[in-house]
Amino acid sequence: MMGGGVVGGGVVEILAKHAGVKFNRICVRDASKARDFKIPEGCEVTTNVDSLLQDDIDCVVEVAGGTTIAYDLMLRAMAAGKSVVTANKAAISLHLDELSEASTKVQAPFLYEAAVCGGIPIINTIQSGLRGDSINRIVGIMNGTTNYILSRMEKEGVQYLDVLKDAQDLGYAEADPAADVEGWDARSKLCILAKLSFGHTLDEQALYCQGLTRVSKEDFEYAAMMDSTIKLLGVTTASEEEEGGTRTVKAYLSPMLIKKSTPIASASGATNLISLNSKHIGESVYMGAGAGRWPTAQSVVADILRIGAPYSPPLGASADARFERDFESRFYLRCVMKDQIGAIARLTGLLADAGISVFSILQTPITDRNRVACAVVTDECRLSQVEGVISRLTEGIGKKTNWSKRPNRRSPRATVRDAIPCLSWLCEESPEIQKTTRLVP
Ligand SMILES: NC(=O)c1ccc[n+]([C@@H]2O[C@H](COP(=O)([O-])OP(=O)(O)OC[C@H]3O[C@@H](n4cnc5c(N)ncnc54)[C@H](OP(=O)(O)O)[C@@H]3O)[C@@H](O)[C@H]2O)c1
């Protein structure tokens, strides 16, 4: 095993009760460091990564993390015909194709259940439980840290930064929280699930990805007015097969308004939840711990014990698919502007210019006439239309824009130039989701 930290220690402790598995070597960075688990009898603790490739090892368990040494070890272990088990989502999301190709070449199992949503056996569910079915949509809370932060913002009426420090003190958030709060961690998991479900490798950078940093306590007030809450969701869908057998895959990560009565809204705290829609089962929901020593180690252990089972390829059948960044949804847009006659009319005018119809406008009573917040929920439209409006709103900030010189555009004048889309936007659930779960009246 490479790594003897949070997850590695849990794996050793759980497997201490299983007679069939023997640890020969555990490779760590500092062999002299005290461990919070019992080193198995006869197991050597080393700093020599290469020693994991010796002939007395059948299976390499990689629970160190990182995308360089760990990735290199996995490739070399596979080349030597060894089974590989890992919890490393960063390496998997970057190199799933290469790793799966290397393992397929030697027909050695390559298992990574713990890499997505820690304790929820979602990869095994997709690969085994749904074999023969056709997944068309995945929606999920894929990051426990951000779900914990959003839950507390809603419950206590506080801002994101007020909760972040607590989350760090409790060990939910890293010292550098960017991967969680910007949505990159959840995006990696979304890409892995899309690959497994639709056979298409998504370019992470091409996805629309908004974390929670722009969500404020005011948004929870507006959400409550709509009997909703806010969750950071990863969503990926695949169309029916089009002509030529191609499917169109869409994927995005965004804070979303969710009706409080739904299963997704009920997942609070550091919980993860994945909702799958497949042709034969319809909607199925999987909820549980997304991280932590025991849930994550259990997923690693299940993979290790599965290695004795007959070989099956690590990826679903590959399919021709095309990625489409743009997607349809209803969008929520919160603006802060000066209290002036016609301000909201000009905002809705910009939306109308972009062909966007307004579903509702919400405004809490004014407390500061220089910073008046209002929230607009649109009817269904495309992300690109909303992005066009956002860029027109932000264009006027910090520089003088001569709106009148822009062809075919109504001059927004002072009031809208002063509008600051301080949150930008949240997506309300797509109509596809509404159809099945009736989330939106
Ligand atoms: N923690 C979770 O809840 C969780 C959930 C899902 C997935 N994961 C994934 O599981 C993996 C491990 O996470 P963790 O929380 O267990 O990390 P951790 O507690 O920091 O442990 C990492 C271990 O790897 C060892 N290590 C690091 N770099 C090494 C190197 N170059 N050579 C040899 N050993 C090295 C460290 O050795 P020393 O102890 O000597 O420093 C340590 O024992 C990561 O890929 C993570 O993304 C974790």
153: left (phi over 0), alpha (psi -120 to 50) or beta: alpha
336 C-alpha to ligand 1 centroid (Å) = 43
In the block, tokens 């439209």 appear at 381
For position 339, what pLDDT does the model report?
Answer: 79
pLDDT tens for each residue of 223-244: 999 888 999 999 999 998 877 7
Confidence of residue 20 (pLDDT cuts 50, 70, 90): confident
> Relative to the CA of 291, which ligand 1 atom is closest?
3
DSSP one-letter code for 126: I
For every residue of 367-400, DSSP letters joined together read S-TTSEEEEEEE-SEEHHHHHHHHHHHHHTTTS-
CB 10 within 8 A of CB 61: no
Q: What is the pLDDT of residue 405?
A: 38
**Strands 247-259, 420-428: pairing kind:** parallel
pLDDT reported for residue 407: 36
pLDDT given for residue 346 in this prediction: 81
Instruction: Evaluate if residue 294 carries a pLDDT over 50.
Output: yes
- Section 185-208 average pLDDT: 93
The dihedrals phi and psi of 330, each to the nearest 5 degrees, come to -90, 140
Q: Which of 63, 92, 120 to mutate to test the pocket of ligand 1 (most atoms within 8 A of CB)?
A: 63
Q: Are 197 and 316 in contact (CB under 8 A)?
A: yes
Report the pLDDT value the prediction gives residue 311, as an integer from 0 to 100: 52
- Identify the top-confidence range among 5-14, 15-24, 412-421: 5-14
Residue 89 CA, closest ligand 1 atom number: 47
Pocket mutation for ligand 1, best pick of 11, 23, 27, 29 (most atoms within 8 Å of C-beta): 29
Pull the structure tokens for residue 234. Answer: 């990863």
Nearest ligand 1 atom to alpha carbon 7? 16
Nearest CA to ligand 1 atom 30: 29
Q: What per-residue confidence (pLDDT) applies to 313?
A: 54
Residues with CB under 6 A from ligand 1: 2-8, 27-30, 33, 49, 63-65, 69, 87-89, 114, 118, 291-292, 296
Please state the atom number of ligand 1 nearest to the C-alpha of residue 4: 43
The dihedral built from the CA positions of residue 123, 128, 129 and 135, taken in this order, carries a sign that is: positive
Which tokens belong to 235? 């969503």
Closest CA to 432 of 359, 326, 356, 329: 329
The per-residue pLDDT for 291 is 87
**What is the distance between the alpha carbons of residues 104 and 106, in angstroms, rounded to a whole number?**
5
Is the pLDDT score of 302 beyond 80?
yes
Question: Is the pLDDT at 190 greater than 70, yes or no?
Answer: yes
Indicate which residue of 82, 89, 189, 250 is catalytic.
189
For residues 370 and 340, give the distance between their C-alpha atoms in angstroms, rounded to a whole number: 9
Q: Which residue has the tokens 């004014």?
A: 366
How much is the pTM? 0.80
Amino acid sitting at position 126: I
b/e burial code for range 199-227 (CB count within 10 A of at least 16 → b) = bbbbebeebbbbbbbbbbebbbebbeebe
Task: Compute, in angstroms, the gap from residue 8 CA to the centroid of ligand 1.
Answer: 7
Q: How far is the CA of 75 from the centre of ligand 1 (A)?
A: 18
7 C-alpha to ligand 1 centroid (Å) = 7
Give me the percent of the chain exceeding a pLDDT of 90: 58
What residue owns the CA closest to ligand 1's atom 27? 64
Span 184-204, average pLDDT: 93
User: Quick one: average pLDDT of 244-260?
Assistant: 90
Q: Residue of the nearest CA to atom 20 in ligand 1?
A: 5
Phi, psi of 362 (to 5 degrees): -120, 140
pLDDT score for 333: 85
Ligand 1 centre distance from Cα of residue 88 (Å): 9
Distance CA 86, CA 88 (A): 6
Query: Candidates 2, 7, 50, 189: which one to mutate for ligand 1, based on the most atoms within 8 Å of Cβ?
Result: 7
| Beta carbons within 8 Å of 369's beta carbon, 6+ residues apart | 338, 339
Atom 8 (ligand 1) nearest CA = 87
Nearest-atom number in ligand 1 for the CA of 65 is 45
pLDDT in tens, 270-282: 899 999 999 999 9
Work out the mean pLDDT of the chain and round it to a whole number: 85
Tell me how far CA of residue 429 lies from CA of 139, 152, 269, 436, in angstroms.
Answer: 10, 22, 21, 11
So what's the pLDDT on residue 437?
Answer: 26
Q: Pocket of ligand 1, candidates 28, 47, 52: which has the most ligand atoms within 8 Å of its Cβ, to mutate? A: 28
Look at 73 and 243; give whichever has higher pLDDT.
73
**Structure-block tokens of residue 423:** 């949150």
Nearest atom (ligand 1) to Cα of 29: 40
Percent of the chain with pLDDT over 70: 87
- Report the atom number in ligand 1 closest to the C-alpha of 30: 40
Centre of ligand 1 to C-alpha 266, Å, is 31
Q: Whose CA is nearest to atom 47 of ligand 1?
A: 88
Q: Specify the length of the chain in residues.
A: 441
CA–CA dist 198, 319 (Å, integer): 7
Q: What pLDDT, on the 0 to 100 scale, is given for residue 434?
A: 33
Residue 196 CA to ligand 1 center (angstroms) comes to 25
Higher pLDDT among residues 8 and 322, named by residue: 8
- CA–centroid distance, 87 to ligand 1, in Å, is 9
Q: What is the Cβ-side half-sphere exposure of residue 29, based on CA atoms within 13 angstroms?
A: 7
C-alpha–C-alpha distance, residues 8 and 15, integer Å: 11
**Which tops the pLDDT comparison, 416 or 133?**
133
Per-residue pLDDT band at 344 (split at 50, 70, 90): confident
Q: Is 189 among the residues known to form the active site? A: yes
Sorted by sequence, the CB contacts under 8 Å of residue 343 that are 6+ apart come out as 337, 372, 415, 416, 419
What proportions of the chain, in percent to the nearest 5, are helix, strand and coil?
40, 25, 40
The pair phi, psi for residue 209, each rounded to 5°, is -140, 115
pLDDT tier, 397 (very low <50, low <70, confident <90, very high otherwise): very low
Domains along the chain?
6-111 (3.40.50.720), 122-289+318-325 (3.30.360.10), 328-431 (3.30.70.260)
CA nearest 331: which of 253, 416, 427? 427
Q: Which residue would you say has higher pLDDT here, 331 or 431?
A: 331
Ligand 1: which residue has its CA nearest to atom 29?
Answer: 29
Contact between 258 and 439 (Cβ < 8 Å): yes
65 Cα to the center of ligand 1, angstroms:
5
pLDDT per residue as tens digits for the range 111-150: 999 999 988 999 999 998 998 999 999 999 999 999 999 9
CA distance 20 to 416: 69
- The per-residue pLDDT for 415 is 35
Q: What are phi and psi for residue 426, nearest 5 degrees? A: -125, 150
